[in-house]
Every structure is written in C-alpha cells, then in structure tokens.
Amino acid sequence: MKYDLAIVGAGSAAFAAAIHARRKQLRVIMIERDQIGGTCVNVGCIPSKALLAAAEARHLAEEHRFPGVDTMAGPVQMRALMAAKNEIVSDLRRDKYVDLAREYDWEIAKGAARFTAGPALEVDGRHIDAKHYVIATGSMPSVPPIAGLRDVPYLTSTTAMELQEVPESLIVVGGNYIGLEMGQLFAHLGSRVTLVEALDRIAPHEEPEISEALSGVLRDEGLTLRTGATVSKVRREGADIVATVSGDGGSDELRASQLLIATGRRAQTDGLGLEAVGVTLGKKGEVVVDEQLRTTNERIWAAGDVTGHPQFVYVAGVHGAVAVDNAFEHGGRTVNYRTLPRVTFTTPNIASVGITEAEAQQAGVECECRSIPLDVVPRALVNRDTRGLVKIVAESQSGLVRGVHMLAPNAGDAILAGVYAIECGMTVKQVANIWCPYLTIAEGIKLAAQSFTMEIAKLSCCAA
C-alpha cells in the first residue's frame, strides 16, 4: 500500500490526524472535495467571531455606556465588513492549513471520496488504498422539514455570513448557540430580529437563570423572543418572507425580509458509500464509533463533528490525534468530556463547564448551588455592564465543585478557571481561598465560591 493513512476531509479533525501521523513518519493522503480548512476557518468559528466582534464594536458605539464619552454608530458598510472578514479567513486558511500541509509534506487530493470494498477509496476515478482510514468530513447546517421552505430563499449560518447588505428585518429559527449568536449579531448591525425557539426558553441546555438573564439582555437590545413556538410553514409574499408561528396561544404570522434557519448541525456523510464497507450510521446520520473512535469496520476510524460527539473544534483536534494513536499503536486512548467547556459568544458570553443543577439531580448527586449577580463583581461595575451571573454547582457533603456556569463579558476566557477547578478536584472552599487577580471577570468564580459560606455584599472590594 502506498499510504499508511487516508483521511477524508480537510478540517480541524483531519489536520490534527495528519499532523500527528506525519510526526510518526506515516505516509498520509488527505482527500477534500471542497475548501481546505473545513467548517471552523471557512464558515464557522473564525468568520462568525470576526463578524460578532465588529457588530459588538458598533453596538458599543450606539450604546453610550460611559458618561463623558460621546460615540455614534453610522450605517454598516456590509460589503467592506465582509471583505475584511474574508481576508482574515483567507490568511488563516493559508497559514494554518495550506502552508502546514506543505510543511509536513502530505498529499492533498481534490475530489469527492467514496468508499469501496477493501476497504479502499475512489476519488474521481483514482483508486486509493491505505492501511487505515479516518472519516473527518465534519457537519453541515441541519434544516427542519418546514412546509414551503424549499420555495423560500432562506439563510443558514453559512450563507448568512456572505450577505452583502444588512437585512432590514430577520426571523431566526432556533434559540440555541447558533441562533443566539447570529440573532444578536444582526441586531447589533441594525436588523430588527425575531427569534423563534421551540422549547420553553432560549439556551435551553444552560442553567435556567442564564436563559432568563440573557432573555432580558436580548429584549433590552430590541430583539423579539418567541419561545415554546415553532415555525410550521413559510411563504414568499412580495419582497418579504411570511412565517406561520404556532404555540400554546395559537398561530400567528411573522413577516421579515430574511429568514435564517439555525436549528443545529448534522453529520456530513452523504455520498461516502459507507454501506459498502460496513460502517454503521446512527439515527441522526452520524458515524457510529466506539470509545476509541473506531467505526464498525476495524480499519476505519472517525473524528470530529461527523461522530455526533460535542461539536467543538477543540474536540475535533483531540479526536484526530486519538484516532491515529489507536489505529497505529493500539493506544487504547479514549476521550473524557467531564471538563469540556462550552461557550456561546453572545454579549455577554455564556460559558459553562461540568454539570448543571438539573443534571446533578438526574444523576442522584446531592448538590448545593450558589449564584451571584454580576453587580457584586468589581470588574463588571467599572465596565458599567452588570448583566449576568456566576453559578457554582457543588456536592453537598464534600464541597467538590461539579459545575461552573457564567453569563458575563469575556466569560469564554474566565471559564478556564472553572475547567481547572473541576479537573483538579477542587472544593468550593479551595476555590474561595485561592489567589485571583483583582478586577477581572474571573474573580466572579471566586466570589461565587465565597458565597457558600459568607455574605458577598459584606466584603470589601478586595477582601480575601
């Protein structure tokens, strides 16, 4: 065989696998039918956060938060904004993907890969044999079966980031991380946004306190939230899109210039011919893998979003290396998600690690919880932005920290302290007494830990 490893896909999981394999001097080929770099750099993390940062800058200029500082927010030059976003994407794609592949010296074949008996791959008429294979084709936007949707020019999280004009009005279907980020993004750019969520609250997998507080933030910023409601059908009416929304109170119609479907992502396995090599798919189309990321074919592995595991780029990166170690060294490596952090890049951020209070109760863990509002965190006070909270979930008897949950500016950075606290088996007493830099949002975690045994309001600003 010419190759030790053939990787289908060229995103985060694929590159992690290829780099890890080349460091072992393995012969690698990567097959990609679309753009090198996958979701994260092309249509996911990088472009969305670039646009979110720009939209937040405009919102701050419009908000007049600081007395004595006059600011103004003019119309958005959307074409220029998108061009700047595309430049960042292009630079990172070159520096972190194309140039790295050249430096590590593996082959990249352009084309659509399909598995055939062997197992082997056919790529536009070329036959490729390898000792092992990694499926790393990622995910794509999931579109629900809404009546009339095929006849309406709707947006997804991918196409929304290519708009050349700010929509005058926008209906967002989905109130989880994609819908929340995209909804607030366009609201900050000047759109009138209505967000529709089928469950009874936005951010439905987070702590209820966080959902409630973020709802207040979004409503204050002019977004309309419709929870416990579904879009049953859509139609085009002139320049507008009309959506029929059904809920407990009956049905009514929403009208907007654009419709964004943000109901999650699904594994991208179409056209891979996995049935020919005995690879099993799950109920949601994901590639079924065991704890070591091996599929139901002993020579084929899978990594990243395509497995149905948590859809984060840092998970994909770990998966790629784990799959290679297990394939070639029988490493027996598994992936532990106990301290996996998750961040939703709204303003303020949602950031969480560990279990929620509800999950603790479901697992039979006797827990004690404390929440503090951001108005007791000095950093939030000087920022003049006290929208949010910090919550800690701890075991009642031992005090062991089991979950840290935040709604705060830059909570995505601060949550690393929570990751370390849980990973190192710290108790709330230890967190309450550990060093913490003053006037940081991360201090909110220490203050929340202190609130288990004292009244935070009775502490001086920097009291330990």
Q: What confidence tier does 462 reach under pLDDT thresholds 50, 70, 90? A: low
Tell me what pLDDT residue 250 has: 83
Q: 192: buried, middle or exposed (CB in 10 Å: 19+, 13-18, 0-12)?
A: middle
Q: What is the mean pLDDT of residues 198-214?
A: 98
Interval 177-199: pLDDT, tens: 999 999 999 999 999 999 999 99
| pLDDT value of position 461 | 75
Is residue 74 a contact partner of residue 189, using CB atoms and an 8 Å limit?
Answer: no
Q: Report the distance separating Cα 272 and Cα 296, nearest Å.
A: 15
- pLDDT tens profile 391-426: 999 999 999 999 999 999 999 999 999 999 999 999
pLDDT attached to residue 80: 98
Give the bridge partners for 26, in sequence order: none
| CA 326/CA 317 separation, integer angstroms | 15
**Tokens, residue 378:** 């000095």
Q: What share of the chain in percent tops pLDDT 70? A: 99
Q: In the chain, pLDDT over 90 holds for what percent of residues?
A: 96
Task: Give the residue extent of every domain in the chain.
Answer: 3-141+266-329, 149-263, 342-458
pLDDT bucket at 1, cuts 50 / 70 / 90: confident
> CA 10 to CA 18: how far, in whole Å?
9
253, 242 in Cβ contact below 8 A?
yes
Structure tokens at 189: 């750019």
Same fold across 3-141+266-329 and 149-263: yes
Whether the CB-CB separation of 355 and 363 falls below 8 Å is answered with yes
| Superfamily, domain 342-458 | FAD/NAD-linked reductase, C-terminal dimerisation domain (3.30.390.30)
Contact criterion met (CB below 8 Å) for 342 and 352: yes
Query: What pLDDT, on a 0 to 100 scale, did the predictor assign at position 247?
Result: 86
Evaluate if residue 4 carries a pLDDT over 80: yes
Mean pLDDT of 217-223: 98
pLDDT band at 463 (very low <50, low <70, confident <90, very high): low
Question: Model pTM?
Answer: 0.95
**Cross-strand partners of 82:** none
- Please give the average per-residue pLDDT across 68-92, as a whole number: 96
Distances (CA, A) of 48 to 8, 279, 306, 390, 413: 25, 33, 21, 25, 17
Residue 446 has pLDDT above 70, yes or no: yes
Q: How far apart are CA 155 and CA 172, in angstroms?
A: 9
Residue 164 in this model has a pLDDT that exceeds 90: yes
CATH domain 3-141+266-329 topology: FAD/NAD(P)-binding domain (3.50.50)
pLDDT band at 331 (very low <50, low <70, confident <90, very high): confident
> Class for domain 149-263, per CATH?
alpha beta
